[in-house]
Homo-oligomer: A and B are copies of this chain.
Amino acid sequence: MPIQIRKLDSSQDGFQQSLDTLLAFEAGTDAAIEASVANILADVKTRGDAAVLEYTNRFDRIPHGGAAEMAAFDISQAELQAALNGLPSAQREALQIAAQRIRAFHERQREELRGFTYTEPDGTVLGQKITPLDRVGIYVPGGKAAYPSSVLMNAIPAHVAGVAEIIMVVPTPDGVKNQMVLAAAAIAGVTRVITIGGAQAVGALAYGTQTIAAVDKIVGPGNAYVAAAKRRVFGIVGIDMIAGPSEILVLCDGTTDPDWVAMDLFSQAEHDELAQAILLCPDADYIAQVEESIAKLLPTMPRQATISTSLQDRGALIKVRSMEEACEIANAIAAEHLEISADNPQQWAERIRHAGAMFLGRFSSESLGDYCCGPNHVLPTSRTARFSSPLGVYDFQKRSSIIHVSEAGAQTLGRVAATLAYGEGLQAHARSAELRLKPQP
């Protein structure tokens, strides 16, 4: 049966409502998962290593009756290096090139944010100091969703920021280790790799145990248990965004090979049945050509079942009035990945206010950015690009304000502060400022 993708037209009645329905996605919360995660976290907080050991042996089906002590879950730097050396040379070189490019881009981010101080005429100094976090945890999923590219994208920004300790956790169900993931850890600047996962790993990182030091922030994707655990420990440690399904929005002026656009839509749809791939184009004939390309190419894809479900359930081919209108709709969608596959793409990019990452021109396929262009592939999903940013070096840094008031400054500022403090009924605030005033002559 041929694939049926939703087709919309922005000039038709009810378009806005159809678009809203298409975009609507709310991550459900599962009470059973929540309860289970709450128990595991409380147990890890109380019993530490003993709890982590038990849960890991059980949930990850560690062979030979399970590990007897936590040390069994540590992977040495030598083993990481051996994993890198053992890869086929094409894979090893690809990982190294990707890591080098990701590092180069993120070093630009670090250079941008240097802090500042300035001195006022009365000698008062004000400023902002930038410091890295001391210690962070990187969660890396195990099993079939183990992605070495995620290791690079999460660990390298922390390393570039100057984080002294980067602790990576990665579960190894049935004791099976992914060599590419270990190799990625070897080149990303990871300090320590521990083969634990799930809510127990999140708890260990957040609270610390006898053998694992508590971290300041936990980043990285995970399943529903990991996401629920991260939400619960937020505040005790920092966390990154809880990612929703991945999305691509392609704006095309009808001048790109339709096979390319079809494959770009597939590249998002193959991630997940809930992934969302949408095309906006002012040219109805071109949309028909993309449809033909989809029908032609889909049978050649190993993950065609996932792609079909994703495209049929959540995809859309949308005819718009103009590229200008496409840009407006793109701002409302605020997509994670936005491809502007068009001649002179810069003219349209200037109109875009909200997107996680913009891929300009027909050679900038999203997949290049996923692996090796340099910018991060951890991006805001589910319209959160309206208010949040790609993962970056700045996520592993924080600012402290610097206030050094001179004696002269305290005279003028003290009167202002005291007036406002009395106005708010905070007399100790006012007195604290007034004590610094010199007696009037």
Is A238 in contact with B404, judged by CB distance below 8 angstroms?
A: no
Those of A354-386 within 8 Å (CB) of chain B:
354-376, 379-380, 382, 384-386
Contact A109–B94 (Cβ < 8 Å): no
From B263, B400, B405, B429, contact of A432 by CB (8 A): B263
Query: Given contacts A406-B363, A409-B363, is CB(A429)–CB(B267) below 8 Å?
Result: yes
A400 contacts B385, C-beta separation under 8 Å: yes
A400 surroundings in chain B (CB, below 8 A) = 352, 354-358, 385, 389-390
- Whether a CB of chain B sits under 8 angstroms from the CB of A69 is no
**B353 and A131 contact, CB distance less than 8 A:** yes
- A133 with B375: in contact, given A364-B403, A427-B303 (CB under 8 Å)? no
> Whole-angstrom distance between the alpha carbons of A144 and B407 in the complex?
33
Query: Given A367-B429, A405-B368 in contact, is the A420-B95 Cβ separation under 8 Å?
Result: yes
Q: Determine if A259 is an interface residue (Cβ-Cβ < 8 Å).
A: yes
Interface contact B301-A270, CB-CB below 8 Å:
no
| Interface pair A435/B257, CB less than 8 Å apart | yes
A216 in the interface (beta carbon within 8 A) = yes
The answer to whether A390 and B386 have CB atoms under 8 Å apart is no
Q: Min CB distance, A267 to chain B, in Å?
A: 4
Q: How far is the CB of A107 from chain B (nearest CB, A)?
A: 11
Q: Are A403 and B259 in contact (CB under 8 A)?
A: no
Binary interface encoding of chain A residues 105-127 relative to chain B, with 1 for a CB under 8 A from any of its CBs, else 0: 10011001111101000001110
Q: Which of B116, B126, B237, B361 contacts A387 (CB 8 A)?
A: B237
Interface size class of A (residues with CB under 8 A): 35 or more
A299 CB within 8 Å of chain B: no
A426 touches B374 (CB 8 A): no
A128 — nearest CB in chain B belongs to which residue?
Answer: B109
Of A9-17, A196-204, A313-321, A410-418, the stretch lying at the interface with chain B is A410-418
Quick check: is A6 within 8 A (CB to CB) of the other chain? no
A433 to B363 alpha-carbon distance, docked (Å): 9
A428's partner among B267, B368, B389 (CB-CB below 8 A) is B267
A345 at the A/B interface (Cβ < 8 Å)? yes
Instruction: List B contacts of A404 (CB < 8 A).
Output: 345-346, 359-361, 364
Complex interface: chain B residues within 8 A of A109 (CB): 128
CB of A39 within 8 Å of the partner chain: no
Please determine whether B108 and A112 come into contact, CB atoms closer than 8 angstroms: no
Q: Please give, as numbers and ranges, the residues of chain B lying within 8 Å of A35 by CB-CB distance.
A: none
The 5 listed contacts between A and B (C-beta, < 8 Å) are: A94-B415, A95-B420, A263-B435, A359-B405, A367-B417
> What would 12 more interface pairs be, CB under 8 Å, given A358-B403, A364-B410, A389-B399?
A94-B423, A112-B114, A148-B420, A149-B424, A259-B435, A269-B428, A301-B427, A301-B431, A357-B400, A370-B429, A371-B416, A385-B400
Chain A interface residues (CB < 8 Å from chain B): 27, 90-91, 94-95, 97-98, 105, 108-109, 112-116, 118, 124-126, 128-129, 131, 133-134, 144, 147-149, 180, 216-217, 235, 237-238, 242, 257, 259-260, 263-264, 266-267, 269-271, 301-303, 307, 345-346, 349, 352-376, 379-380, 382, 384-390, 392, 394, 398-407, 409-410, 413-417, 419-421, 423-433, 435-436
Nearest 8 interchain pairs by C-beta: A238-B387, A375-B401, A266-B428, A357-B401, A360-B404, A94-B419, A367-B429, A389-B399
